[in-house]
Amino acid sequence: MSRFRAAADRSRIRSLLERFVSIHSVNPALDGGPGEAELATALFDYLEAAGMNPRRQPVAPGGRDNILAGLEGSAGGPLVMWQAHLDTVTPSGKAWPEAVVEGTRVHGRGACDTKGSLVAMVEALHMASGLDPAERCSILFVGGIDEEVSGMGAMALCRERSDIDMAIVGEPTGLDLATAHKGVLRFEIETIGSPSHSSKPHLGVNAIHKMARVLDALENRYIPTLAEISHPLVGSPTISTSLIRGGAAFNIVPAQCVISLDRRVNPGEDSQEILADISELLAGLAEEGVETRLHKATLDMGPLDTPIDHPLVKALQTARRSILGDPGQPIGVPYGTDGAWFAPQGIPSVIFGPGSIDQAHSDEEWVEIEDTALAAEIIAETAVLMAG
């Protein structure tokens, strides 16, 4: 029987969820969002008032700081990081403008992605702080910036801290334990044409028409090869054409067209080999008269593949059984997380938190108060199990 079963303070969780979700923390790279500064300050102030001795790690201008707090643990145990990101994506016109409580749920942008995990970890800190240090592992709590765009917060943390042994990364997994996810490789392909007056299109080379050839090659030559690659937890890689731009005016044959591609990368794949395959595809099109340029990748975030028998995975399963009655089986998720930045630095990570990715980034994002409490209890119990 876990000492933390039903130990989380549901009232405190509800209050903190309402407070944090009400703070707009849209990443400033997304449609001029205000950034994480206000939420970082609110988190810092809360932890300071609770006696957690937080500190700021400046990362980017405008108060974009990681917020850190720690608890010393047993000498024989590891240092386990609990990390959740502070930034959100932009709300749409239909999204909740501020936190709204409806029954057992808190609605609002960032509720499940990932302020639910943030609050769960803060509540777990409350519970773990009441233990004798010998009864818990050492804990580093991090509220990090910039997960939604480039991972600046995670990378800054890795540059400063080389003592972190492993990490629980907060994301909406529905209280499942995700040990694997795909990476993200983003790049652009440009087709080169030549302009002419649109009344005499034969005098030019239409770059948009040429791009149609590229898209056809991606759809019919490249994408079918992805089914040959598979991972037991994340399936096959994917590629998506997310943006297209080209042309200058109605009466000018377009000399340029650019597509932006989002390639999800399986564990075991190499981004440079992926780009080499794309280059080979484009070289074949060049022989057919399609001139292209492959631009440098704008994002190269690797996949995550933590061994399912890692001690942190086993401890989380035991804690989950103590709180929920079921250890659960490790899963894979299709989206990327800050765990992808931690793993190459020797920090094995497990993705875990309340809420569902089905609600994340949606018009009506929400998280269950009870699931947030259960996540807190599982995380706190894991600290006891990892005491060594």
Mean pLDDT of 363-368: 92
CA distance 108 to 113: 10
pLDDT at residue 3, as a whole number: 84
Cα–Cα distance for residue pair 50/285, rounded to 1 Å: 62
Tens digits of residue pLDDT in 120-143: 999 999 999 999 999 999 999 999
- Among 194, 158, 139, which residue's Cα sits nearest to residue 59? 158
Say what the pLDDT of residue 239 is.
98
User: Residues near 216 by Cβ (< 8 Å), separated by ≥ 6?
Assistant: none
Which pTM was predicted? 0.92
Q: Residue 373: pLDDT band by 50, 70, 90 thresholds? A: very high
Report, as an integer, the average pLDDT of 305-321. Answer: 98
Q: How many CA atoms lie within 13 A of 319 on its CB side?
A: 25
Q: What is the rounded distance in angstroms from the CA atom of residue 58 to the CA atom of residue 187?
A: 29
Q: According to CATH, where is 3.30.70.360 located in the chain?
A: 183-300
Integer CA distances (angstroms), 328 to 41, 182, 228, 247, in order: 36, 21, 29, 52
| Residue 194 CB coordination number (10 Å) | 14
288 burial (CB, 10 Å; 0-12 / 13-18 / 19+) is exposed
Tell which CATH architecture fits domain 183-300.
2-Layer Sandwich (3.30)
pLDDT in the model for residue 268: 96
pLDDT bucket at 375, cuts 50 / 70 / 90: very high
Tokens representing 72?
């010393």
pLDDT range class, residue 31, cuts 50, 70, 90: confident
Q: Write down the residue that tokens 């929920």 correspond to.
A: 324
Question: Do residues 184 and 262 lie in contact, with contact meaning Cβ atoms separated by under 8 Å?
Answer: yes
CATH number of this structure's domain 10-181+303-385, picked from the four choices 1.20.1600.10, 3.40.120.10, 3.40.630.10, 3.50.50.60? 3.40.630.10
CB burial of residue 11 (10 Å; 0-12, 13-18, 19+): exposed
Residue-wise pLDDT tens digits, 233-269? 999 999 999 999 999 999 999 999 999 999 999 999 9
**CATH 3.40.630.10 domain span(s) along the chain:** 10-181+303-385
pLDDT at 96: 47
Which residues lie closer than 8 Å to 116 by C-beta, 6 or more apart? 17, 106, 170, 172, 353, 354, 355, 367, 371, 372, 375
Q: Please determine, for residue 95, whether its predicted confidence score (pLDDT) is greater than 60.
A: no
List, for residues 173-187, the tens digit of each pLDDT value: 999 999 999 999 999
Counted residue by residue, the chain has a size of 388
Task: Tell me the mean pLDDT in the region 9-22.
Answer: 97
Q: Is the pLDDT of residue 302 over 90?
A: yes
Confidence of residue 388 (pLDDT cuts 50, 70, 90): confident
Which tokens hold the place of 283?
A: 């070289």
Predicted confidence at residue 91, as pLDDT, reads 82
Question: What pLDDT does residue 257 have?
Answer: 99
- Split at pLDDT 50, 70, 90, the class of 357 is very high
- pLDDT value for 171: 98
Residue with tokens 């609050």: 119
- Asked if residue 372 has pLDDT above 50, the reply is yes
- Asked if the model's pLDDT at residue 93 lies above 70, the reply is no
Chain CA centroid to CA 184, Å:
10
What is the chain's mean pLDDT, rounded?
96
* Phi, psi values for residue 276, rounded to 5°: -65, -40
**Which band of pLDDT confidence, cut at 50, 70 and 90, is reported for residue 334?**
confident
